[in-house]
Amino acid sequence: MFKNYFLVAYRNLVRHKGFSFLNIAGLALGLTACLLIGLFVYDELQFDKFLPAGERVYRIYTEQTSKETPETYSPVSPMYATTLKQEFPEVEQTARILMNPTTNLLVVGDKKIYVKDGLLVDSTFFGVFPLAFKYGSAAGALDAPTSIVLTEDVATSFFGPENPVGKEVKIDTTGFVVKGVLRNDLSKFHLKVNYLVPLAAAQLPAARMKRWGWHQFFTYARLRPGADAAQTQAKLQRYIVEQVKPTMKDEEMNDKPFLQPLRDIHLYSATFKYDLTVKGNITYVKALSFIAAFILLIAVFNFVNLATAKSMQRAKEVGIRKTIGASRQQLMLQFLSETVLLTLVSVLLATLLTALLLPALNAFTGKTMTFDLLRNPALLGILVVLTVVVGLLAGFYPALVLSSFQPVKVLKSAVVTDGIFGRVQWLRHGLIVVQFALSVFLIICAIVVFRQVSYLHNKDLGFNREQIMFFPMRGDNMSRHYETFKNELRQVPGVVSASIGYGFPGDQVAGDGIIVPTNGEQKNYGVTQLMVDYDYLNTLGLQLVAGRDFSPDLKTDKDQAFIINETAVKELGFGTPEQALGRIMKWQVWSDQNPDSLKVGKVIGVVKDFHYKSLYDKLEPAVLQIFPPAYWKVAVKLKGDNVGSSVEGVKQVWGRFNPESPIEYRFLDDNFDEMYKAEDKLKTLLWTFTGIAIFVGCLGLFGLATYAAERRKKEIGIRKVLGASVPTIVALLSKEFLLLVLVAAVIAFPAAWLAMSRWLQDFAYRIDMPLWAFGAAGLLAAVVAFLTVGYQAVRAATANPVTNLRAE
């Protein structure tokens, strides 16, 4: 029986090649998109799942309640770990990582390599994160202050394949002993890590480690089995309010701590400040999942649509089979097995396409996803389930319609009339509307995302970010003689100016308090501190709106002057920029020797607001001051032409000050572009998959238009005999479909508006919703629909009417 079904199915496939192609291609494409997105989403959901007992591990983060809209911070005070370990019996173990995003020069013998992502961690680190070791073991690996644990990649690049345990690695000039090598399977670990060194190596002052106001540690706690995280969190929040706050004298304490499950960190930390983890974004994962479902839905709808349209041709067969004695169940089974067969072919094709396209997706996302059916039986299972489910979903309705035909009616006339199909017409139209609504929705989203991403890249940030070479100083010689270093940089042909400081746009900036005496009261404001030199403003091209720049000729500018931005004028309550000039501000100097010394100075200038952080963040009040002890980074403004030789010149100057370490530079605008990587990728993915969705939808529409033209052959023939022109007939055939597109647009517009408004809200700086995008999306859908349908319409309209009438 099944042999007969498949035989008929196979011969139908071969006989109606065009139809089969539309069906299979559409479904295969849809399935490919689904599989690729599915792999990506699955991969994103796997983060930190490889860690044993990971479900008991939580990260402590805080909300700063002092701000208008509470902000979430990843790094917290070192005291959280201390307190949890000592006062909370339900906590089994804690581990801290110092926020220290620097690149260090690692040296082994003659080999010197800059290595990013070295973590300074508590020696308990491997107690919380039981990572697998290739050489050595976790026990005691971080106990001595001179211990270092490397990842396999780093170990290999220094030592080759041999076991390096016991060998020495220098970080800059300090020696460490390799205690272990981690296995290379950290791609699903939320922390970026290349090597680990115990916190003890940093020799942090013990007094600082007791400060609740020093938010510098990523802190993790593993609870005992059976402990309740919600209760622990509530208890911790109470502890802060009842035990910690009353002990705070000078510092404000606005922390509200939370426990974040380890396995949520990767996807649910998109808005966390100062986070250094491998970031995913649950919004994008969800959006892509929706798109995958959309595309599959569109493909399945195509299938249903084409199959019911084609049922006219199968009506006779149904009549004959019923006459001979086939039951309705047998017929349904037949049509369902046909669809499952078609789906199977599509799935096989999709599997092939997925395997071919996965390397490209891997390159694009920087992932190492695999699609190995033999090694992953679960994947095979999913494909089988997909085949059956999609096959049944797509086949059920057509099978129901086909098997309901009355043999008396379908066998009587050579051509089955519209009457029988009238009732499936609404369904076909409904499905087209849904398909086009989804397409219009995706087109709008794609346009809005594209506009916002261009805005992020091109918005005037209030400073000049072009041709600025940017690098950290290295070595004592350079830091001690930074002024000479800067002067020599300025001598390089092609260098316009150079600035040394801490707090450049797109780089790390420090937040700290500033005290403003107002009406006899000392008010403390949280601001961004930019430690600058005399060339900062002109190197970055910042504009003064009041007052003057720092001047090396005025001795007092170093110790008694501040420049603030426009936002600071507002938030510190200074009125206008002019009124701000001359106002007194006090700053608690960064000094371990003299923690209580105050720098007191006047506001000498106000700069126009400039975006030193990503456009996700609202501009904050910023205070600029001369403070050489914090100087660390160098920005060199180059002329537009001959950049290559200018860079060479800068390198030579560097070599004179530090021949030991090679220079490691980038350009400032790259820093900014990097911030929007996720959005750039979203943009590309959205455009790609929107394209696929539209294409798949068009395949279906094309098929339907073919059948509509077929169905109305006689009508077209009669109209032509009566004198209708080709354009009128094309209009007649296209009108119906264009109307459907219109309805689709009406449905899609509000949905897209809502979705995109919500997405844009994540950005502190964003475009206005581009209304034209809605018109454009509707128009695009209409044009695509018209072209698809029009081809068939023109063919039908230009056919010889006599042939069509005779066929009746």
Instruction: Kindly list the residues in this chain that would bind other proteins in the complex (CB under 8 A).
Output: 1, 4, 7-8, 11-12, 15, 316-317, 319-328, 330, 406-408, 411-412, 414
The Cα 770–Cα 443 span in angstroms is: 13
The Cα 568–Cα 73 span in angstroms is: 22
Q: Is 603 within 8 Å of 562 (Cβ atoms)?
A: yes
CB of 248 or CB of 320, closer to other proteins: 320
Specify the amino acid at residue 250. D
CB of 411 or CB of 643, closer to other proteins: 411
CB of 266 or CB of 314, closer to other proteins: 314
CB of 330 to other proteins, least distance (A): 7
Strand partners of residue 198: 121
CB of 237 or CB of 313, closer to other proteins: 313
Residues 6+ apart with CB under 8 A from 774: 444, 745, 749, 752, 753
Q: Is 211 within 8 Å of 79 (Cβ atoms)?
A: yes
DSSP per position, 97-142: EE-----EEEEETTEEEEE--EEEE-TTHHHHS-PPEEEE-STTTT
In the three-class reduction of DSSP (H, G, I as helix; E, B as strand; rest coil), residue 223 is classed as strand
Please report the beta strands in 250-350, taking only residues with DSSP state E, as ranges in sequence order. Answer: 255-261
CB of 398 or CB of 513, closer to other proteins: 398
Q: Is 197 within 8 Å of 148 (Cβ atoms)?
A: yes
Distance of CA 791 to the CA centre of its chain: 40
CB of 345 to other proteins, least distance (A): 17
Radius of gyration of the chain, Cα coordinates, nearest whole angstrom: 34
CB of 411 to other proteins, least distance (A): 6
CB of 396 to other proteins, least distance (A): 20
Q: Is 626 within 8 Å of 533 (Cβ atoms)?
A: yes
CB of 327 to other proteins, least distance (A): 5
CB of 363 or CB of 414, closer to other proteins: 414
CB of 306 to other proteins, least distance (A): 17
Q: Is 464 within 8 Å of 541 (Cβ atoms)?
A: yes
The Cα 595–Cα 499 span in angstroms is: 28
CA atoms within 13 A on the CB side of 110: 0
CB of 4 or CB of 761, closer to other proteins: 4
CB of 411 or CB of 724, closer to other proteins: 411
Length of the chain: 808
CB of 303 to other proteins, least distance (A): 19
CB of 271 or CB of 413, closer to other proteins: 413
CB of 23 or CB of 74, closer to other proteins: 23
CB of 702 to other proteins, least distance (A): 24
Residues 6+ apart with CB under 8 A from 750: none
Nearest alpha carbon to residue 38 among 50, 47, 30: 30
The angle at the Cα of 622, spanning 618 to 623, to the nearest 5 degrees, equals 175
CB of 316 to other proteins, least distance (A): 7
CB of 8 to other proteins, least distance (A): 5
